[in-house]
Amino acid sequence: MAKGRPEDIRAVPVRHPGRWVAVAAIAVLAAMFLHAMLTNGALHWDVVGQVFTYSTVISGMEQTLLLTVLAMVLGIAGGILLAVMRLSHNPVLSGVSWMYIWVFRGTPVLVQLFFWNFLGAIFPKVGLGIPFGPTFVSWNYNDLMPLFTVCVLGLGLNEAAYFSEIVRAGILSVDEGQAEAASSLGLTHGQTLRRIILPQAMRVIIPPAGNETISMLKTTSLVSAIAFTELTRAATDIGNRTLYVIPSLIAASLWYLLFTSVLSIGQFYVERYYARGTNRVLPATPWQKVRQNLSTLRLRKPVGDAS
């Protein structure tokens, strides 16, 4: 044997026969399920396809997306504000934040939606003026708050209460030494929060934030209860009219699944962005993983042979 660096180890990897058995069993079950779904005439797949692209469903889907985006923007902005208020040394701010969270987290979102919708019955006119004195301008509540605005506010204000707790957890997860280092450099409280604490808190905030967004996508279906037509409402309307109830719901579900998938992919990349600096190596993207797996499959062949 010549001295020097020994050859690279090319060992036979551990075999996992159990995995192959499991894959086979799952494949059979999946095939049975698909077969049952596709051959069951009651599901009317042709109708599912038609409902999926029907004009009212498409516009309902657009409303759902718009509601989700606007409610989340309101929820995130409000949530950050509430979390910062809650952690403030100012007892008035933290008290107000506590009250807000107590009310909005303590009552069902459906009840809140009804409340915003019927507030016009209690306060038909809304005006600006001197407290207990004359009013300068006033509006009809129902003009000021069209149904869409009611939906966005109802969902967004409720979301803010939940999101504030997520942000607060993120802020508390950042080491105290970070704030000390920042203030010893002369950064103000606000600068420390914006530049140092929040960017690090994002790592903790993103996974539950993705969860909340996906949850919001589906919670928007609640606004059908106050007669706003979004995806679920549009689909059930067709179902009620044509009696193809299940196919219509499947079509709506496919839209929800599609958007949930897109959001999950987005979440992965956002998480990856905020992991920079904390992980020495960034997690592989799915595409990189596929390429890795393919190359190890190719490597497995020559195991043991010398060439």
- Which residues between 182 and 201 bind other proteins (CB under 8 A)? 182-189, 191, 195-196, 199-200
28 burial level (CB within 10 Å; 0-12, 13-18, 19+): exposed
> Are 125 and 140 in contact, with CB atoms under 8 Å apart?
yes
What crossing angle do the helices spanning 55-87 and 245-274 adopt, rounded to 10°? 40
Q: Mark 156-185 with x for binding to other proteins (rule: CB under 8 A) and - for no binding.
A: -------------------x-xx-xxxxxx
Per DSSP, the residues of 82-148 read HHHHHHSS-HHHHHHHHHHHHHHHHS-HHHHHHHHHHHHHH-SEEEEE-TTS-EEEEEEHHHHS-HH
- Please give the structure tokens belonging to residue 183: 């203030």
* Binding region for other proteins (CB under 8 A) out of 79-87, 128-136, 277-285, 299-307: 277-285
Q: Which is nearer to other proteins, 195 or 289 (CB)?
A: 195
For tokens 């499991």, name the residue: 22
Q: Which is nearer to other proteins, 192 or 213 (CB)?
A: 192
* Nearest approach, Cβ of residue 183 and other proteins (Å): 6
Which contiguous run of DSSP H or E holds residue 42? none
* Nearest approach, Cβ of residue 279 and other proteins (Å): 8
Q: Which is nearer to other proteins, 60 or 170 (CB)?
A: 170
Please give the Cα distance from 180 to 101 (Å, whole number): 29
For tokens 């605005």, name the residue: 149
> Is 274 a residue that touches other proteins (CB under 8 A)?
yes
* Nearest approach, Cβ of residue 287 and other proteins (Å): 24
- Which residues between 81 and 110 bind other proteins (CB under 8 A)? none
Please give the Cα distance from 47 to 2 (Å, whole number): 74
Please tell me the number of Cα atoms within 13 Å of 174 on its side-chain side.
23
The residue within the footprint of other proteins, chosen from 149, 240, 279, 288 (CB under 8 A), is 279
Q: Mark 195-234 with x for binding to other proteins (rule: CB under 8 A) and - for no binding.
A: xx--xx----------------------------------
The count of chain residues that interact with other proteins, using the rule CB under 8 A, is: 24
* Nearest approach, Cβ of residue 200 and other proteins (Å): 6
What does the binding site for other proteins look like in residue numbers (CB under 8 A)? 175, 177-178, 180-189, 191, 195-196, 199-200, 274, 276-280
